[in-house]
Structure 1
Amino acid sequence: MKKGLKIATIGGGSSYTPEIIEGFINRKLSGELPLEELYLVDIEEGREKLEIVGNLAKRMVEKAGADIKVHLTLDRREALKDADFVTTQFRVGQMEARIRDETIPARYGLLGQETNGAGGFTKALRTIPVILDICRDMEELCPDAFLINFTNPSGIVTEAVLKHSSIKVIGLCNVPIGMVNMVAKLYDVSPDRIYIEFAGLNHLVWGRKVYKDGIDVTKEVLDKVAESKEFNMANIPGADFDKDLLQAIGMLPCPYHRYYYMKDAMLEHTLEEAKKNGSRGAVVKKLEEELFEMYKDENLNIKPPQLAKRGGAHYSEAAVNLIASLYNDKKDIQFVNVRNNGTIADLPDNVSIECNCIIGKNGAVPINIGHVETSIRGLIQQVKAYEELTIEAAVKGDYKAAIQALTINPFVNDGLMAKKVLKDLIEENIDYLPMFK
C-alpha cells in the first residue's frame, strides 16, 4: 500500500516554484496532503535555474520541518513514474520567446500580449506539442494521475489535452481567485465571505454575480471597481475601467477584459510602455534575474515577498487548494478550466471553459450555467472559435487553420494582416514550430 503522495512539477526551474513549495509545505504540516516525494523537472536549458530554485525549495522544506524529499531532475520520465499529481508551469522558448510574442505583433500596430492575440496564439503553438508529449508519457507512466495545468494560455492548453489525450486534466488560472481577493479587499473583509459566480473562458471570464455574505452586491461592486485603482494584476498595466461601461456590462469583468473592452487605449499604453521600458516580457526578464540572484542566497529559506511583483499571485493557493480537494474528496467549489459538457449552452460540449466547479476525488464537476447573457455571448463564441482553430493549427501543423484563427482573433481581426503577422511569427519561432517546417 502506497504511503505518501508523489507530485511532479514540470517547469520546476520557474521563478514561480517557491509559491507552490510554500503551499505544499503548509498542507503537509496541516496533515492535509501526505506529500512524500516532490520532483522538480526541467530541461537542459533550464538546468541552472532548476538548481538555484530547487536548492531554495530544499531550504524552505528544511526550515519548515516538513518531511518532503525534493528531487531535481532533467529526466521527465523518472519524475512521472507512478506520480499521483503532475503540475505544469513551463514556458517553451523561455523569456526570449515571450518577448518575441509581444514585439512581433507590435510591429504591425497590434496588441502584443503574452496569452491573448497573436502573441498568445504563438505561445499556444509552441506549447501544445510539448504538453501532448508530456501526456503521452503520463498515459504510459502514471495514467491515473491528475494533470493540473498552469501553463499559459491555460484554457487552450487544457482543451488540447481534453481533445487529444486520455489524461485527467484540470486547467488552472490565478485570475478568478485573484478577483475574489480583490473584491474582498474592496470591502476590507476576508475572501471566504465573498462568492463570485464565474462564467467564460480562461482570461475571458466574467463574474456574473458577486455575493458578500450571501447577499448579491454585484451593482455595488461595479461602482467600487470603477472608483478603485486596485482592481488589476501586476502584469496588466494600463487604462482603468469606465464606470458607465461597467454598469452597461452589468457583470464583473476580469482584468484581461481591458484588452477587449478598451483595445485602443490599451494598445496605445502598451506601445508607449514598450518604448520607455521595453515589452512586459523584458521587464519580467529583469525581475526574474533579480529574483534568481536572491534565490542563490544560501541564507534565504522562505518565499521572498518580491515574488508578488512577478504577476502570479495566488497561483500556489489555487494549485494546492485544488490538489488538496481532489485528494481529500472535499466537494468544495473552486474556479477551474474543464470540459464544457453543456455547462454553457452557447458553446460546443468538447471545449474547455472556466467556471465554478465542485471538486472531489473524481475531478471537477462544473455547475450548470445555461445560456449566457447576449452582451457576452458573441465575444465568448468568437474567442472560443479562435481557440479551437489554434489547437487544430498546432496539432496538425495546419497553416490554413492558423490564418483562420488569427483572422477571427479580436486583436487581429483582418485576414491580410493575419497572413503578414503569421509569416513573421512562424519564421522567428521556427525552432519551436517543427510542424510548420
Structure 2
Amino acid sequence: MKLTILGGGGFRVPLVYGALLGDRGEGRVTEVVLHDLDAGRLAAVTRVLAEQAAPVADAPAVTATTDLDDALRGADFVFSAIRVGGLQGRADDERVALAEGVLGQETVGAGGIAYGLRTVPVAVDIARRVARLAPDAWVINFTNPAGLVTEAMSRHLGDRVIGICDSPVGLGRRIARVLGANPKEAWIDYVGLNHLGWVRGLRVAGRDELPRLLADPDLLGSFEEGKLFGVDWLRSLGAIPNEYLHYYYFNREAVRSYQQAERTRGTFLRDQQAGFYEQVERSDGSALELWDRTRAEREATYMAENRETAGAGERDADDLSGGYEKVALALMRAIARDERTTLILNVRNRTTLSVLDSEAVIEVPCLVDANGAHPVAVDPLPGHATGLVCAVKAVEREVLAAAESGSRTTAAKAFALHPLVDSVNVARRLVEGYTAVHPGLAYLR
C-alpha cells in the first residue's frame, strides 16, 4: 500500500513514519513517498527516516520528490501536512495581528484567517489533482486550519477527505487518566469544530464519569485543562473545553502574554527548525538523535504563553508526546482493513448538528470502516457553545468565499466577523498588513 505525505520535509514526518514501523499487519503501508517543495528539507527528513528504519526488518520503502503529480499518482492514502508560507509565514501572521492588538495564533483568530486565506487555494489545487490522479485515494488532512482546509477539499473529494487533530485525543486521554480509566475503553462525548470543541461526557462501561471529575476540585485541578482554565470555570461550563478555547475565554490575557513574549511561537519554531535542518545538512552525526532533542524542546514549550498566563506551570511528562500520527495510522487501518473503530475526526456534518448545514465540517466521534468515517449522533450543543461554533463557521465560510472569488472585501468581512477581532477598521488593516507581507495573498483584489 502506498502512502504519499505532502509536506514530506516537515519536522513531524518522523512521527508518522515511526507509527508505520510499528504496524506489521496485513495490508500495511509498504511504500512511502515524501513530497515537498524544499529539496534540502526532504533530504534531512529522509536521513532521519533511514535511521528509524535501520533496525526494522522490512520497513516501508521511502522515496522523495518535489514533483507533486508523481507523488500523488497511484497513492492509496495521501497525508496532507503542508505549511503554505513556511514558518516565516506563521511568524508574520503573529506579528501583523499583535500590532493591531489581536490574536495571531495560527489556527485561531486573525492569524488563523490569514493562514487559511493563503492555504485554501493550494489545498483546493491538491484536491483537484488527487481527484484526477488518484481518484480512489483517501486524503487524511492535518494541514491547518484543519477543519477549514478539510471543508475546502471536501468540495472536490466529498467524504474521501478526512481531517485529523491530536488535541481531542490528548484531552480525552488526560481526562480518562485522571479518572483512573483506560482511554481505549472510554467513550469520549466530544463535539464542536477543530480547535473549538468540548468534552461533555466520558463513559466507561456505560457510566458517565465526567460528573465525578467536575465534583472533585482537587481532581479537576490536577491535569492540564484544570490548570489552564481553572476549576471554577470548568465547573460552571459543566464540560472540559479543548485547550485552544483558552484563546477565547482568556483572550486579553493571551494577547498580552504574546505581546510581552521575547519571541512568538512562530518565531521560536522558525528559528528552532531552521537550526535543526542546518545542523543535519552540515553534520555527519545522527540526524535521528538531533531530531529527538529538537522535538522534546518543541513539545515542552507548547502553549507556554497560555500556561504562564494561567499559572499552570510546566507540561506533565505524559503530555510531551504527539498523537496525531496514531490517529492517522488507526484511520488508515480501519479503512484499508475494515477494522472498525471509533475516532474523533473532522468530517462533513450531514445531520449531526442541526444548527449547521450538511456540508459543514465538524469535529465529532466517528465510526470508521472500509467505507470511511461516519459521524455519530450527538446531543445538541449548549447555547454558549452553539454561538461560538456558528460564529466561527460563518467566518470559515467567508474565508472560502474570499479564496474562491479573490475578493479583498470578503476577506475583510471574514476578519471582521471573528469573535476575537473587535473592529471592522481593524479587520481592514489586517487585510492590508497581511497582503503586504504574504505573496500567497496576491490573488486578493
Q: TM-score, normalised by structure 2?
A: 0.89
Contact 1:341 1:350 in 2 (8 A): yes
Contact 1:40 1:70 in 2 (8 A): yes
Residue in structure 1 matched with residue 221 of structure 2 by the alignment: 227
Are residue 280 (structure 1) and residue 265 (structure 2) matched? yes
Are residue 270 (structure 1) and residue 258 (structure 2) matched? yes
Q: CA deviation at 1:353?
A: 0.2
SS in 2 for 1:304: helix
Contact 2:80 2:141 in 1 (8 A): yes
Q: CA deviation at 1:305?
A: 5.9
Letter in 1 for 2:271: K
Residue in structure 2 matched with residue 76 of structure 1 by the alignment: 68
Letter in 2 for 1:163: R
Residue in structure 1 matched with residue 441 of structure 2 by the alignment: 433
CA distance in 2, matches of 1:434, 1:224: 52
Contact 1:426 1:433 in 2 (8 A): yes
Q: CA deviation at 1:374?
A: 1.6
Are residue 37 (structure 1) and residue 22 (structure 2) matched? no
Aligned-residue CA RMSD in angstroms? 2.1
Contact 2:366 2:376 in 1 (8 A): yes
Contact 1:50 1:72 in 2 (8 A): yes
User: For residues 10-159 of structure 1, what are the structure 2 equivalents within 5 Å?
Assistant: 10-27=6-23, 30-43=24-37, 46-159=38-151
Choose 406-415 or 160-169, whichever is displaced more: 160-169
SS in 1 for 2:229: coil
Contact 1:383 1:410 in 2 (8 A): yes
Q: What residue ranges of structure 1 are gaps of 5+ in the alignment?
A: 233-238
SS in 2 for 1:335: strand
| 1:256 paired residue among 244, 255, 277 | 244
Residue in structure 1 matched with residue 165 of structure 2 by the alignment: 173
Q: CA deviation at 1:198?
A: 0.9
Q: CA deviation at 1:290?
A: 4.7
SS in 1 for 2:377: coil
Q: What residue ranges of structure 2 are gaps of 5+ in the alignment?
A: 300-320
Change in Cα spacing, 1:64 to 1:396, as seen in structure 2 (3 Å) is same
SS in 2 for 1:231: helix
1:320-365 per-residue CA deviation (whole Å, 9 max, x = no partner) reads 1111111111221001000001111111111100000001111100
1:223-250 per-residue CA deviation (whole Å, 9 max, x = no partner) reads 4575135339xxxxxx821222211111
1:364-415 per-residue CA deviation (whole Å, 9 max, x = no partner) reads 0000125322231111111111111111111221222212211110110321
Q: CA deviation at 1:283?
A: 1.4
Change in Cα spacing, 1:241 to 1:116, as seen in structure 2 (3 Å) is same
CA distance in 2, matches of 1:300, 1:165: 37
Residue in structure 2 matched with residue 235 of structure 1 by the alignment: none
Are residue 330 (structure 1) and residue 326 (structure 2) matched? no
Choose 90-99 or 182-191, whichever is displaced more: 182-191
Q: CA deviation at 1:169?
A: 0.3
CA distance in 2, matches of 1:266, 1:220: 30
Change in Cα spacing, 1:420 to 1:250, as seen in structure 2 (3 Å) is same
CA distance in 2, matches of 1:373, 1:394: 32
Letter in 1 for 2:21: I
Q: CA deviation at 1:49?
A: 1.1
Are residue 243 (structure 1) and residue 237 (structure 2) matched? no
Question: When the two structures are aligned, how many residues end up with a matched partner?
Answer: 419
Q: CA deviation at 1:286?
A: 3.0
Contact 2:8 2:34 in 1 (8 A): yes
SS in 2 for 1:436: coil
Choose 162-171 or 380-389, whichever is displaced more: 162-171
| 1:392 paired residue among 401, 413, 422 | 401
CA distance in 2, matches of 1:183, 1:224: 13
Letter in 2 for 1:54: T
| 2:197 paired residue among 201, 205, 228 | 205
SS in 1 for 2:443: helix
Identical amino acids, percent of aligned pairs: 31
Q: TM-score, normalised by structure 1?
A: 0.90
SS in 1 for 2:124: helix
Letter in 2 for 1:149: N
Q: CA deviation at 1:203?
A: 0.3
Change in Cα spacing, 1:119 to 1:434, as seen in structure 2 (3 Å) is same
Letter in 2 for 1:42: D
CA distance in 1, matches of 2:413, 2:153: 21
CA distance in 2, matches of 1:370, 1:220: 20
Q: CA deviation at 1:109?
A: 0.8
Contact 2:174 2:223 in 1 (8 A): no
